Amino acid sequence: MLHSENFDEKILDKHVIDTIKEDFKSFNMQMDVHFAHVIMLYEQNIITKQEAGSILGALFEIENDGPESIPIKEGLTDLYSNLEEFIVNKIGIEVGGKLHIARSRNDMNITIERMFTRDSLIKYVDALIYLMETLLVEAEKHKNTIIPGYTHHSQHAQPTTLGHFYLNFFHTFKRDIERAEASYKHSNICSMGGAALTTTGFPINRQRVSELLAFIKPVEHSMDATSSLDFQYESASAMAIFINNVGRMIESLLLWNIREVGLVRLALKYCSYSTIMPQKRNPVALETLRYSGEWTYGALSTMFNTLKAFTPGNGREPGFVTSLYMEISEKIIPSIYLLEGIVRTLEVNKERGLEITKEGFSTMTELADELVRSKNLSFYAAKKIVGKLVVIAHDEKIPCEKIDSNLIKRAAREALNIEVELEEEKIKTAIDPEKNIQERDIMGGPAVT
């Protein structure tokens, strides 16, 4: 409900109501555009000092009283149209009507959208930095917390650490920040002065308005200035990539949270209870994050589809695209803080992590490597032998820690019909998850990151 005594939702259709509600979100930005435009008109001697003073006085009053103070009239479909009507009624058409000299709703709206977009990107990056700081803290805390590394979604691959896992996403989110920086650069140019489509015959100063609104420069071409929303596609795409990266992270957390795995458990405040099953601790915060991604992909697709054949110039459709961008940013930024809280409070079972790593035969790559080093075998031959060893161990229910020289001899005979004997101490070292991680001291490995 919009809080204006003159606002009657019964006489306005939904899209008008939604448009004005969105305008409320960017009210301060709209006011800044008005102030900058009036100052420029005065400096260019297009309006007098007295006229500028009267218009600015009315604008300051509106800014102080807030958008709710503007009467909303039937037939005026956005906040600006109602604001302009209010100013004309307040100070007269001869002076108040000059607010609209040398501009259009087209260049004004897209300038506000650029301001909203760059502001949202700043908030987005601030949130990402906060999340990444937590990942660094938790990575240090868990640099020796051994867990299985997985490939093919759920298959034990090689031992790693939870700290190594966290740093993976630290670096991933760093690229998300870089994408946001590029998006900010393309958003931080000013559309004012493009007017409706082809600029204006008045001697305006586009550079001055750009400076007053803290843009880096004006959009050079007027048609581009008033009709291009690719900066919002780019910003929304950057956020969609981020939440897709989050989806990959939380899939692991969901798997680790399964009782049969028991590696982690979400803090209670990020869970819900069952109305019928007393034992349940539902990881609803992770499910919320997944939905944020699914919804964002759909919204981004709609943004592209809405303007895929839209000719240069303005119209109603760009407003729908901006509405979707606003919703995306308002969904993604809180999601970052939600993920930060989940990571910071995650309950980790270190003993279970080591246990399931030992059980999963994830040290077999190192065993094959040791055969290459100690017995001068090709890696292909060593892999064949260890592969056969794993099959035998599985069929005969031999646990990983029971692998010995006799089992390697048998596997070598059955796989390649050769004799291979490896010292027990080297076998023990090779199948030790902690020693495996210590061996991975190449740049980027779990022993050094």
Over its C-alpha atoms, the chain yields an Rg (Å, rounded) of 31
CA distance 314 to 321: 12
Q: 């995306």: which residue's tokens?
A: 328
* DSSP tag of 11: G
At residue 18, the pLDDT reads 83
Q: Evaluate whether residue 293 is within a structural domain.
A: yes
109 with 317: CB under 8 angstroms?
no
Q: Which of 101, 135, 164 is the last residue of a domain?
A: 101
| CATH number, position 196 | 1.20.200.10
Q: Evaluate whether residue 442 is within a structural domain.
A: no
Q: Evaluate whether residue 447 is within a structural domain.
A: no
- Regarding whether 163 and 85 lie in a shared domain, the answer is no
Q: Report the number of distinct structural domains present in the chain.
A: 3
CA distance 49 to 46: 10
- Regarding whether 37 and 167 lie in a shared domain, the answer is no
CA distance 321 to 232: 8
Q: Evaluate whether residue 222 is within a structural domain.
A: yes
C-alpha neighbours within 13 Å on the C-beta side of residue 383: 4
- Regarding whether 129 and 46 lie in a shared domain, the answer is no
HEC profile for 319-348?
HHHHHHHHHHHHHHHHHHHHHHHHHHHCEE
Nearest 10 degrees: CA dihedral of 24, 26, 29, 34?
Answer: -50
**Cβ neighbourhood burial of 17 (10 Å; 0-12, 13-18, 19+):** middle
Q: Which DSSP string corresponds to 76-114?
A: --SHHHHHHHHHHHHH-HHHHGGGGTT--HHHHHHHHHH
CA distance 134 to 138: 6
C-alpha neighbours within 13 Å on the C-beta side of residue 263: 19
Q: Which of 53, 70, 101 is the last residue of a domain?
A: 101
At residue 141, the pLDDT reads 98
C-alpha neighbours within 13 Å on the C-beta side of residue 429: 11
Which pTM was predicted? 0.93
- Regarding whether 311 and 293 lie in a shared domain, the answer is yes
| Residues listed for the chain | 449
- Regarding whether 23 and 123 lie in a shared domain, the answer is no
- Regarding whether 157 and 120 lie in a shared domain, the answer is yes
Q: Evaluate whether residue 3 is within a structural domain.
A: no
- Regarding whether 218 and 81 lie in a shared domain, the answer is no
- Regarding whether 370 and 298 lie in a shared domain, the answer is no
Q: Evaluate whether residue 209 is within a structural domain.
A: no
pLDDT digits (tens, 9 = 90+) for 8-40: 555 456 778 888 989 999 999 999 999 999 999
- The dihedral built from the CA positions of residue 105, 111, 117 and 120, taken in this order, carries a sign that is negative
Regions of the chain with pLDDT less than 70: 1-13
- Regarding whether 276 and 132 lie in a shared domain, the answer is yes
Q: Evaluate whether residue 4 is within a structural domain.
A: no
Nearest 10 degrees: CA dihedral of 67, 70, 76, 80?
Answer: -50
At residue 358, the pLDDT reads 94
| Interior angle at CA 240, CA 234 and CA 242, nearest 5 | 105
- Regarding whether 254 and 139 lie in a shared domain, the answer is yes
C-alpha neighbours within 13 Å on the C-beta side of residue 218: 22
At residue 74, the pLDDT reads 83
Q: Evaluate whether residue 440 is within a structural domain.
A: no
Q: Which of 316, 350, 384 is the last residue of a domain?
A: 350
- Regarding whether 273 and 139 lie in a shared domain, the answer is yes
Q: Domain range holding 181?
A: 106-202+214-350
Three-state DSSP class for residue 412: helix
- Regarding whether 254 and 175 lie in a shared domain, the answer is yes
CA distance 207 to 192: 9
177 with 128: CB under 8 angstroms?
yes
